[in-house]
Amino acid sequence: MRWPSIIAVWRTLETTTSANRTRSIHATLPGCSSIGFCVIRRSLIVLAAAFVTAGTALADTIRVGVASNFLGPATDIASAFETATGHTVLLSAGSTGKLYGQIVAGAPYDVFLAADTARPKALIDKGFAVSGSQRTYAIGTLVLWSARGDVPVTLSRLRAGSYRHLAIAQPTLAPYGRAAIETLSALALTDRTADRLVFGESISQAMSFVATGNAELGFVAKAQVVALSGQAPGHYWQVPAELHRPIEQAGVIVRSDKPAAAEFFEYLRSPVAHDILTRYGYRSP
Amino acid sequence: MSGPDISALLLTGWLALVTTLVLLIVGTPLAWWLARTSSRWRPAIEAMVALPLVLPPTVLGFYLLLLFNPTAPIGAAWLWLSGDTLTFSFAGLVVASCMYSLPFMVQPLTSAFTALSRGPVEAAASLRATPLDTFFSVVVPLSKRGFLTAAVLTFAHTLGEFGVVLMVGGNLPERTRVVSIAIYEHVETLAYTEAHTLSLILLLTSFVVLTVVYASNRSQAVRVG
């Protein structure tokens, strides 16, 4: 239920009743024996009206399952979207694989923003998402990050091997992990780093291994480092885009019967969304 | 079943076995003390032992990440002693599992020790048996069932450990990638056949192990009754 719509109905009723007041309020709202009771009655009508409008396109509530690396920008984009349209967006963050499993099991998401292109495609192929709706909404940026403020992170530090553990996301689970493996291979560091790699089940866990000092270095999403900036010291080295295949993050519309879902999905390529994406270190497709 | 999955199974069994042995050594004196003491600290110690039953594994995992890291005193000391970090290592998993499975060892043992009548222990003492001799010759045989229950529950509980390992393990094949982690990964990558195989093995193992405990408890009860 949305407050703007409740207020709107209340105002409408107010205009009607004050217009009728000269004649008889009782005629408009039967059962009003006093002004106080009348207000209660009016409240009930407003509530009922709000319940009715809650399910329509006027002001809708949509649920969005979002890959955890994109939670920061998604929150900002959702709040801009809410201000612009009056809809409500409820975000649930999780790994792409987990959200995929939930949708197949009937989770009530209207939009799915994945961290890869495979899972959205699989949902469409299996009939769990609106066919033709798949679109890349952002391209991720990989950085090599250290939580310590006193040693700069450079490619030569990675090459020199002056660290015990290098955290990455599990490449089978997370596109950022796959990109990290590709980067190491492009730099001919695969063998040198093999016994130093530790795997987070998601890019967020790889980040937490580095943040807690258990791994000195880690390949993480630039968006996460940006979201942290100001809160923690640390340095990063941005991995040149040509060292790995692009980290394409695709989304799909899961339910076709909600116009607000399509509206939100379209809003992801608005100039406002583009600015937010860029600020978090993503590229627009 | 693939090589990595078989090694995950072996690693899990090995972790459960090592954890059970360590906890037998650590948990037995603790349980004995809890069963005999009239200290006013007893409720607090009992509560500490039971904490892993009620706390989410994320709490333990979070603290361990902070304690184990090489810049923290414990993590640094271990690194100096062993040359390896506690996070991302088998040793770290053993420490974590021992904390996590502690109540499963201590609680059954404490009940078994509490249920012992004082008679045989005092008789042994009056025959000039040393406390240690009394413990091994009298208490242990009389608490056989308690030891079996405690060991089997600890073993089974460690087999099923997931949250803490996920947080401090780093998913390293043959070091920290246990079955529950392997299953998680298979589910996430939609490899449901592999997930089914491992899940079924874990399910049947746990079922058999628990059945053994309940069956032995029952036969004991029947014999006594």
Residue A95 to residue B188, Cβ atoms within 8 A: yes
Would the pLDDT of B194 be above 70?
Answer: yes
Min Cα distance A39 → chain B (Å) is 49
Min Cα distance A68 → chain B (Å) is 14
Q: Kindly identify which residue of chain B lies nearest to residue A98, measuring between CA atoms.
A: B188
- Measured between beta carbons, which residues in chain A are less than 8 angstroms from residue B184? 201
Q: Kindly identify which residue of chain B lies nearest to residue A205, measuring between CA atoms.
A: B167
Average pLDDT over residues A258-264: 94
Nearest-CB residue to A201 (from B69, B88, B166):
B166
pLDDT in tens, B80-126: 999 889 999 999 999 999 999 999 999 999 999 999 888 888 888 88
Closest among A65, A54, A73 to A277, alpha carbons compared = A73
Closest among A183, B20, B162 to B171, alpha carbons compared = B162
- C-alpha span between B204 and B74 (Å, rounded): 38
Mean pLDDT of chain A: 83
**Preferred mutation among B63, B171, B180 to probe A, highest tally of A CBs within 10 A:** B171
Residue B184 to residue A201, Cβ atoms within 8 A: yes
Min Cα distance B93 → chain A (Å) is 14
Min Cα distance A208 → chain B (Å) is 9
Q: What pLDDT is attached to residue A47?
A: 57
Q: What pLDDT is attached to residue A224?
A: 85
- Phi/psi for A165 (5° steps) reads -130, 140
Q: What pLDDT is attached to residue A229?
A: 74
pLDDT in tens, B53-86: 999 999 999 999 999 988 899 999 999 999 889 9
Would the pLDDT of A48 be above 60?
Answer: no
Would the pLDDT of A18 be above 60?
Answer: no
Asked whether the beta carbons of A164 and B68 are under 8 A apart, the reply is no
Residue B190 to residue A122, Cβ atoms within 8 A: yes
Residue A213 to residue B70, Cβ atoms within 8 A: yes
Asked whether the beta carbons of A84 and A130 are under 8 A apart, the reply is no
Q: What pLDDT is attached to residue B112?
A: 94
Would the pLDDT of B41 be above 90?
Answer: yes
Q: What pLDDT is attached to residue A17?
A: 42
Min Cα distance B4 → chain A (Å) is 14
- Measured between beta carbons, which residues in chain B are less than 8 angstroms from residue A213? 69-72
Segment among A156-160, A226-230, B47-51, B99-103 with least mean pLDDT: A226-230
Min Cα distance A172 → chain B (Å) is 7
Percent residues over pLDDT 70 in chain B: 97
Residue B188 to residue A98, Cβ atoms within 8 A: yes
Residues of A at the B interface, defined by Cβ within 8 angstroms: 95, 97-98, 100-101, 122, 164-165, 167, 170, 172-173, 198-201, 205, 208-209, 212-215
Checking DSSP bridges between strand A166-169 and strand A197-200, what pairing results, if any?
Answer: parallel
ipTM associated with this complex = 0.77
Contacts (Cβ under 8 Å, ≥6 apart) of A62: A87, A88, A89, A90, A110, A111, A258, A260, A261, A264
Single-letter residue type at A179: A
According to the per-residue pLDDT averaged within each range, which of A38-52, A118-132, B107-121, B177-191 is highest? Answer: A118-132
- C-alpha span between B18 and B20 (Å, rounded): 5
Single-letter residue type at A230: G
Nearest-CB residue to A214 (from B65, B185, B187):
B65
Closest among A120, A69, A119, A76 to A94, alpha carbons compared = A69
Contacts (Cβ under 8 Å, ≥6 apart) of A230: none
Q: Which helix H or strand E contains B194, and what residues bound it?
A: helix B192-224
Q: Work out the pLDDT band at A23, boundaries 50, 70, 90.
A: very low
In total, the C-beta contacts within 8 angstroms joining chain A to chain B are 65
Residue A213 to residue B87, Cβ atoms within 8 A: no
Would the pLDDT of B195 be above 90?
Answer: yes
- C-alpha span between A136 and A118 (Å, rounded): 11
Q: What pLDDT is attached to residue A42?
A: 58
Q: What pLDDT is attached to residue B66?
A: 92
Burial A39-72 (b: 16+ CB within 10 A, else e): eebbeeebeebbeebbeeeebbebbbbbbbbbbb
Q: Work out the pLDDT band at A278, boundaries 50, 70, 90.
A: very high
Average pLDDT over residues B153-162: 94
Structure tokens that stand for B168 in this block: 């401090």
What's the whole-model pTM score? 0.76
- Measured between beta carbons, which residues in chain B are less than 8 angstroms from residue A123? none
Burial B199-214 (b: 16+ CB within 10 A, else e): bebbeebeeeeeeebe
Segment among A26-35, A142-151, A155-164, B75-84 with least mean pLDDT: A26-35
**Preferred mutation among B85, B181, B188, B192 to probe A, highest tally of A CBs within 10 A:** B188
Q: Kindly identify which residue of chain A lies nearest to residue B190, measuring between CA atoms.
A: A97
- Measured between beta carbons, which residues in chain A are less than 8 angstroms from residue B187? 97, 101
Average pLDDT over residues A86-115: 90
Structure tokens that stand for B59 in this block: 């709490």
Asked whether the beta carbons of A80 and A273 are under 8 A apart, the reply is yes
Q: What pLDDT is attached to residue B219?
A: 62
Nearest-CB residue to A165 (from B88, B187, B188):
B88
Mean pLDDT of chain B: 90
Residue A172 to residue B87, Cβ atoms within 8 A: no
Residue A208 to residue B188, Cβ atoms within 8 A: no
Q: What pLDDT is attached to residue A25?
A: 37
pLDDT in tens, A90-103: 999 888 888 898 89
Full DSSP string of B123-151: HHHHTT--HHHHIIIIIHHHTHHHHHHHH
